[in-house]
Amino acid sequence: FVRLAIPVQEIQRVTGGYSETLALMSFLILIAVSAAGYAAARRFSRPVEEMSRTADAIAAGRRDLEVVYSSGDEIGRLGAALNRMTRALSEQIEALSSEKALRDTILGGMKEGLLVVDLGGRVLLCNEALRAILGLRGLDPSGRPLIEIARDHAVIDRFDAALLRGEESTGI
């Protein structure tokens, strides 16, 4: 049986340098991987953040904005979808605005008073002729209870009869 021995100081001197080198290399690799991960995350998050800011601006009424995208990946497809949605939304808003303008023109030209209320008795729509009849010229009674705008009980009774019993009322 043969036994070989090396002094402990000699082993520590030789391996001590390796430990320090290994720790330094591990630290440098950790920093490099962290930097690469940060760069990759920013590469994907920056376009999403920009799309989010643009979407917020569009939601606030800036329908002239478009999302800028240059890639064909998921983020690029998301940008294209947001742009399509913005164009469709603009077209819908434009169509509704045109319909509202037409309705307002028709109702404004009527000589008869027109009042639309819901089943709870709240005013949904009131044309200018009825506002003049009720002394509400320049006020918008939408959303208010009928009893607040028409303080005459005969008027309220006629509306109640029309709402509850389905009776037609052509004059007040």
Euclidean distance between CA atoms 117 and 156, whole angstroms:
12
Query: In this predicted model, what pLDDT tens digit does every residue of 65-100 receive, in sequence order?
Result: 888 877 788 888 988 999 999 999 999 999 999 999
**Spatial contact of 128 and 115, defined as CB atoms under 8 Å apart:** no
Query: In this predicted model, what pLDDT tens digit does every residue of 145-164 receive, in sequence order?
Result: 888 887 777 877 877 777 77
Euclidean distance between CA atoms 31 and 116, whole angstroms:
69
Euclidean distance between CA atoms 61 and 58, whole angstroms:
5
Query: In this predicted model, what pLDDT tens digit does every residue of 28-75 receive, in sequence order?
Result: 999 999 999 999 998 888 888 988 999 899 889 888 888 887 778 888
| Partner residues linked to 145 by β-bridges | 122
| pLDDT greater than 90 at residue 101 | yes
| pLDDT greater than 60 at residue 172 | no
Average pLDDT score over residue span 125-154: 84
